[in-house]
Structure 1
Amino acid sequence: MSSTLGTSRPDQASYMLRAAAGDAGRAYKRRMLDLLDIRAGQTALDVGCGPGTDLPALAERVGDGGTVIGVDRDPDMLARARERTEDLHRVEIREGDAHALPVEPGTVDRAKVDRVLMHVAEPADVLAQLHRATRPGARIGLAEPDWDTLVVDAEDLGTSRAFTRFTTAEVVRNATIGRSLARLAERAGFRVETVLATTPVFRDFDAADHTLGLGRNMEKAIAAGHVDRDRGHRWFAGLSQGPFYASFTLVTVICSR
Structure 2
Amino acid sequence: MPDIFELSRPDDYLERLAASDLGRGWKALATAELDLHHGHDVLDLGCGPGADLPTYAAAVGPSGSVLGVDHDAGAVARARALVRHLATVRVAEADVHRLGLADGSVDRAHSDRVLQHVADPGLVLAETFRALRPGGRAVLAEPDWGTLVVDGPDAATSDAYGRFVVEQVVRNGRIGRRLAGLAERTGFAVERVVPVTAVFRDVHEADQVLGLARVARRAVEAGYLHERAEARWTEHLTTQPFFASVTLFVVVADRPSA
* TM-score normalised per structure 1: 0.95
**How far does the alpha carbon of each residue in 1:63-85 deviate from its partner, in whole angstroms, 9 at most, with x for none?**
11110000001010001101111
Question: What CA distance in whole angstroms lies between the structure 2 residues aligned with 1:102 and 1:141?
Answer: 20
Shift of 1:5: 9.7
Q: Give yes or no for contact 1:5–1:215 (8 Å, CA) kept in 2.
A: no
Question: What CA distance in whole angstroms lies between the structure 1 residues aligned with 2:37 and 2:4?
Answer: 47
- Give the one of 178, 181, 204 matched to 2:179: 181
Equivalent residue number for residue 144 of structure 1? 142
Question: What amino acid is aligned across from residue 212 of structure 1 in structure 2?
Answer: L
Equivalent residue number for residue 115 of structure 2? 117
Question: What amino acid is aligned across from residue 8 of structure 2 in structure 1?
Answer: R
Q: Percent identity?
A: 48
Shift of 1:104: 2.0
1:155-194 equivalences under 5 Å are 155-194=153-192
Question: What amino acid is aligned across from residue 145 of structure 2 in structure 1?
Answer: W
Question: What amino acid is aligned across from residue 46 of structure 1 in structure 2?
Answer: D
Question: What amino acid is aligned across from residue 15 of structure 2 in structure 1?
Answer: L
The answer to which of 161-170 and 17-26 deviates more is: 17-26
Equivalent residue number for residue 7 of structure 1? 6
Note the residue ranges of structure 2 that are not aligned, 5 or more in a row.
none
Q: Give yes or no for contact 1:114–1:142 (8 Å, CA) kept in 2.
A: yes
Secondary structure of the corresponding residue to residue 171 of structure 2: coil
Question: What CA distance in whole angstroms lies between the structure 1 residues aligned with 2:84 and 2:234?
Answer: 42
- Give the one of 81, 89, 112 matched to 1:91: 89
Question: What CA distance in whole angstroms lies between the structure 2 residues aligned with 1:55 and 1:10?
Answer: 24
Question: What CA distance in whole angstroms lies between the structure 2 residues aligned with 1:5 and 1:222?
Answer: 20
1:70-85 equivalences under 5 Å are 70-85=68-83
Q: Give yes or no for contact 1:199–1:247 (8 Å, CA) kept in 2.
A: yes
Equivalent residue number for residue 27 of structure 1? 25
The answer to which of 146-155 and 235-244 deviates more is: 235-244
Residues paired across the two proteins, number: 254
Question: What amino acid is aligned across from residue 64 of structure 2 in structure 1?
Answer: G
The answer to which of 60-69 and 153-162 deviates more is: 153-162
Question: What CA distance in whole angstroms lies between the structure 1 residues aligned with 2:92 and 2:77?
Answer: 11
- Runs of 4+, deviation exceeding 4 Å: none
Equivalent residue number for residue 215 of structure 1? 213
Q: Give yes or no for contact 2:153–2:232 (8 Å, CA) kept in 1.
A: no
Secondary structure of the corresponding residue to residue 232 of structure 2: helix
